[in-house]
Each structure stands twice: as structure tokens, then as C-alpha cells.
A and B are shown apart, each in its own frame.
Chain A
Amino acid sequence: DAGVTQSPTHLIKTRGQQVTLRCSPKSGHDTVSWYQQALGQGPQFIFQYYEEEERQRGNFPDRFSGHQFPNYSSELNVNALLLGDSALYLCASSLGSWETQYFGPGTRLLVL
């Protein structure tokens, strides 16, 4: 049973650049949620995708956008990167919106 996968594992970008992170959900799951986790903090909800639509969004600027594909995989895009965007980006999948979520290994983004 394939778990949640994410790519890449690590990424280094400079301020002002754009980045795309990818996530494939656990087999059988249809919902993908994205989180940002800064050092020493709990994960903060960015947004959730279900049926290829953004279902709910957290308190993140429009620079953060996403997409879900027909196979339920998802992308997170961040434009005009800021130093403060440096964090661990986590993807979690679930069967349904408010069901138990399982996390992927994360993508560690460093913005210089």
C-alpha cells in the first residue's frame, strides 16, 4: 500500500523565485491538504483540495496557489518567494475532507 509521496525532498531557491512542490496521496485517498511547518512550530494549514477544487484555505497570501489533478495528485506553487517562506512543506492525504490525515515525508524549502 503506497503511502503519501512528495517531491522534491529538498529545495534551495532565492528571493523572488517561484517554486512548485508535488504530492501523490495514499492509495485510495481523494483529498489532499497542504501545510507549512516553520522550525519549532506546529503545521499551519495552507489549503485543501478535493475533486480538483480548493475546498478551504488557511491564512496564506495569494502567492500560495495549488492544483489537484484527476488522479488526486496535487501541486503547491509559491510565487515571489520570501525569506520567511523557508519551512518544511507537508502534504497530507485523507479519504474525505475531515477524516484522519496521513502525512508525506515533506519538502524542505530554503529561501536565500
Chain B
Amino acid sequence: QKEVEQNSGPLSVPEGAIASLNCTYSDRVSQSFFWYRQYSGKSPELIMSIYSNGDKEDGRFTAQLNKASQYVSLLIRASQPSDSATYLCALYSGNTPLVFGKGTRLSVIA
């Protein structure tokens, strides 16, 4: 059974700071990793995908993947109150369905 672990939070950061969200997974053959943002009462919205070890940057967001440590993270620079949401980590492993963590709730304090 593949597992994706996330700290449920809430993670509170001041406006303008860097928010660091972490995710660990149990399956060593996991291949594709995704971060989704979900506002309260809304559906998940794709933020980033990452497939190779290292960093991938898109605007204020940076995804980091370390397959040897089975660890993927999302950094949000210059955090804004509008970034307050639940962030879901998800992964594919071969021909298996997308598996989600329970999400980390982020609160950016103005």
C-alpha cells in the first residue's frame, strides 16, 4: 500500500516569508509527483509537477525532489495571505492511480 505522508498543520508563516511544505512517500518506484492547492470548499488546483531529482521553479513556487530520501517539498517565496490553503502532495507509481496525502493547511498571516 503506497503511502504519502504530510504534516496536517496548520503551518503559520508571516506575510513575505518562505513557506516550506514537505511530503514523504513509501514507494521507492514512485515516478511522478504533483502539488495541488485546495482552497476551503473548492477543488484541487494543480500548482507544480516534478519528475526528476532536483529543483523546479515556477514563479514564487519551487518544487524539490529527492528520490533517494523519498522526499518532495514545495517552497513558496514571498508568501501572501491568498496562499492560505491546503496543499496536497500526490504521486504516480507505474500504472497505479494517483495517490494523495491528507494535505498540509497553510496560513499566511498579514
Residues of A within 8 A of B (CB): 33, 40-45, 48, 56, 58, 88, 90, 92, 97-98, 100-106
Contacts and interface: CB of A to CB of B under 8 A. Distances in A.
A48 B43 contact: no
A40 B97 CA distance: 20
Contact of B43 (A42, A58, A105): A105
B5 to A, nearest CB: 11
A50 to B, nearest CB: 12
* Interface range, B side: 20 to 34
A33 B44 contact: no
Given A48-B97, A56-B97, A58-B97, A42 B49 contact: no
Given A40-B102, A101-B46, 5 more contacts: A41-B102, A43-B44, A90-B44, A97-B95, A103-B44
Contacts of A41: 102
Majority-rule SS of A interface residues: loop
A42 B103 contact: yes
Most buried by B among A48, A101, A104: A101
A37 to B, nearest CB: 8
B109 interface: no
A105 B97 contact: no
A68 B15 CA distance: 45
B43 A103 contact: yes
Interface in B89-110: 90, 92, 95-103
A102 B95 CA distance: 18
Contacts of A101: 34, 46, 98
A87 B36 CA distance: 19
A83 B4 CA distance: 27
B63 interface: no
